[in-house]
Chain A
Amino acid sequence: MRKELFALTVVFLIFVAFPASLWGYQAWRTNAGDTRVIALTANAPATGGWVPDTIRVNVGERVRLRISSPDVAHGFEVPTLGIRVDEILPGHVEEIEFTATRAGRFPFACTRWCSVDHWRMRGTILVVDPANPNPPLPTFAPPLYQQLKVDIDAMHPTQNTPTQKPSAARGALLGIAIADDLRMKSPSDVFTKLRADAMLRSYTDLQLWDATALAWKRTAGDTALARGQKLYARDCAACHGESGQGDGPAGRNLPGMRAMDATMRKGPADFTDAAQMLGASDVLLQGKLLRGGMGTGMPEWRSLYTDEEMWNVISFLRSFVFDYP
């Protein structure tokens, strides 16, 4: 009888008490304090992407995300809330806590190449103010390229192509001052204006290009270039290539490639192509980034990049045609 009781106790412990204590502990952790715990699973886009892909939280609520991945390494970032987890490895659970202080929609995305469709892996955090659950939709000013009526699909070749890579270091030796607002102008415009200046007749074309390169580097600044380089490596290099030639591995079989105009260059843009890049203003490039690739497979970056990040990347793109020391 005692043996039977003992056996029953063991069975009870294994099948009832142990699981109950585990579940109880998890439930207690989930509801501990005023932190709401939300499980978020990162799957490659082909097998479901973010689950759930919409997370509803209230303003001021403390939220802890427990992010796990069942397949490959992913990343997680909510740029507009400043939350990021760089590495979510399979078999690990990454936890991150945040409090949303203002209502709105905050997009999040995967930040590591997890599959060919990596860029489709996005979701939204919906922050609701309980007192005002249906606020009017926010209005945005139209982007610069629309305000300035820049046609971002027109070809924009430069009038004059430099014989070699313009160098900011050589430009620094010339002492030519450029006072224009470079954001609206293309390098080609700036060069043309310098060439037309009678005071600068003694300079060669290449020297004027060097001065133009220096102007762009000075406007950008070193911090912006370093940030832009990081973002380029993370988000662009997979298709546009590490050397900017448009030969990245992820850009080889893009969905819209066959449908492209036969006269156009197929595949991702070549940032080392001086003829096209020198004819493009920063605003035009920003338009391309904001809008994305119209079926080519390039994502739109408007929802994920802050304005500053966008200018950082564009500043860095110039380093493919300008020689920055």
Chain B
Amino acid sequence: MSRPNRQLRFAIVAVSAVLTLAAFVAPLPAVASAPQARRIEISARQFAYEPATLNVQRGDTITVHLESLDAAHGLAVDGYAVNIQAEPGKSADVTFVADKEGKFKFRCSIACGTLHPFMIGELDVTPNYPFARAIIATLITAIGAVIYFWNRT
């Protein structure tokens, strides 16, 4: 092991570590489209939501109107303070701002029968920066590792 080689390897590790970290914390440009107010009507039945996937932009103000077709159902979004319950004849509304980007599951929050635990939908808040950051960080780490081991041989 000669000294400069070791220095070089340390530099490679340091650079890829710094870049990986940067991929996670680097500030990003603001969202291109202006936030808008949206109303989404979801109907719940045993044991599914219709629609089961909501695509929204970060910063949008979302009003969810939940209607139940058979028994009491709820809608609670992971990562957001949203939890409403509706039954036939008693719909429920909730308004929140989609200020966290990423994919969030929403689930039924009141026992509605045998398959209740599987009553799940998804809120997709774009742009999905956490996902993109993770991809970039993985690529940087992979490239750094390849260069690192290339130098060793």
Q: Is the CB of A234 within 8 A of B72?
A: no
Q: Is the CB of B55 closer than 8 A to any CB of chain A?
A: no
Q: Is the CB of A182 closer than 8 A to any CB of chain B?
A: no
Chain B interface secondary structure, helix, strand, loop or mixed? loop
In the assembled complex, A324 has its CB within 8 A of some CB on chain B: no
Q: What is the CA–CA distance of A204 and B43 in the complex, to the nearest angstrom?
A: 45
Q: Which residue of B lies closest to A69 (CB)?
A: B111
Interface residues on A, range: 20 to 34
Size band of the B side of the interface?
A: 10 to 19
Shortest CB–CB separation between residue A109 and chain B, in angstroms? 15
Within A16-50, the residues touching B (CB, 8 Å) are: 44
Check A73 against B43 for contact (C-beta < 8 Å). no
| CB contact under 8 A between A73 and B89, given known A89-B111, A91-B111, A249-B43 | no
Q: Is residue B68 contacting chain A, with contact meaning CB distance below 8 A?
A: yes
Determine whether A238 belongs to the interface, using a CB cutoff of 8 Å to chain B.
Answer: yes
**Neighbouring A residues of B113 by C-beta, 8 Å:** 44, 71-72
- Contact A73/B91 with A89-B111, A91-B111 known, Cβ cut-off 8 Å: no
* Contact mask for chain B residues 97-136; partner A; CB cutoff 8 A; 1 contact, 0 none: 0000000000000111110000000000000000000000
A116 CB to nearest B CB, Å = 5
Q: Is the CB of A238 within 8 A of B72?
A: no
| In contact, B111 and A233 (Cβ under 8 angstroms) | no
Q: Within the complex, what minimum Cβ distance (angstroms) separates A232 from chain B?
A: 8
CB atoms of B110 and A237 under 8 A apart: no
By CB atoms of chain B within 10 A, which of A89, A118, A241, A250 has the most? A250
Chain B stretch 63-108: residues in CB contact (< 8 A) with chain A: 67-72, 87-91
Whether B111 pairs with A250 at a CB distance below 8 angstroms is no
On chain B, the residues within 8 Å of A120 by CB distance are none
Q: Contacts A249-B70, A250-B89 given; 12 further ones with Cβ under 8 A? A: A72-B71, A72-B112, A73-B72, A112-B72, A113-B68, A113-B71, A115-B71, A233-B89, A234-B89, A248-B88, A248-B89, A249-B67
Question: Which B residues are closer than 8 A to A by beta carbons?
Answer: 43, 46, 67-72, 87-91, 110-114
